[in-house]
Amino acid sequence: MSLFLAAVLAGLSAWLIVRPSLRPTSWLTGSGTVIGAVRSRLLTRGRRARQRAAMREALAEVVADIRAGQPPVRAVERALAPRDGVTAPRTWAAARWGGDIASCLRQDAQETSQAILAAAGACWTVASAQGAGLADALDRLVGQDRRAEEVRRQLDAQLAAPRATARMLALLPVLGLALGFAVGGDPIAWLTGTSLGWACLALGVLCIALGLAWAGRIVSRTERLL
């Protein structure tokens, strides 16, 4: 998120440099666009996490049904029925009407960016060739994904400090503006009413972008190591 916000702010700073006659209302509109873009990205990230968890639990239901005596195809049809978070329409249709479930799992994985579905397709192919072992293979897959999710949670906790630093860095200009108003000045009028003010505004936004990019690089490097 920090790298994304940094890129947006860098673009905004360049825009401020080439558009010194920009009105304050237009600048506020641009700021609202940045906030909206960041909010949309965060919502998308949360939605993907919920979908990943829902798909993992759906595969756990497949394992439970198979071990309870249900045919694998019937178990897939029941567990992968379309509902909130479970998006594997090709696989569900193949199980319901007849089709290559392994191939449909791989196609659904590509369309929904759910890697666990591609792994489930590989498990299905191997189990079909050997004639057994599907429940055990899927159970190991679900367990591995749960452990990976736990690692991601621990990683989020460990990276809380650099992320907090990035957020504080982004809020410092707001505090500076508040201090300017507190001492009786009008920093907004100066920043948007003079050429020097526009230059300072553009430079400030660019510095924030560089700081956020640096913090994002620290976070990304740590994530790659784990």
Q: Is 21 helix (H, G, I), strand (E, B) or coil?
A: coil
The residues, any chain, with a CB within 8 Å of residue 114's CB and separated by 6 or more, are 51, 52, 55, 87, 88, 108
Q: What is the largest CA-CA distance in the chain?
A: 80
The residues, any chain, with a CB within 8 Å of residue 23's CB and separated by 6 or more, are 192
Six token digits for residue 118 = 């591609």
Six token digits for residue 160 = 């809380």
Mean pLDDT (the chain, rounded): 78
Among 20-29, 83-92, 100-109, 211-220, the minimum mean pLDDT is found in 20-29
Asked if the model's pLDDT at residue 61 lies above 90, the reply is yes
pLDDT digits (tens, 9 = 90+) for 141-158: 999 999 988 888 888 787
**Per-residue pLDDT at 225:** 58
**Per-residue pLDDT at 76:** 92
Q: Is 83 helix (H, G, I), strand (E, B) or coil?
A: strand
pLDDT digits (tens, 9 = 90+) for 167-207: 777 777 778 878 888 888 888 888 888 888 888 888 887 88
Sole residue written with tokens 């367990």: 143
Asked if the model's pLDDT at residue 13 lies above 60, the reply is no
pTM, two decimals, is 0.62
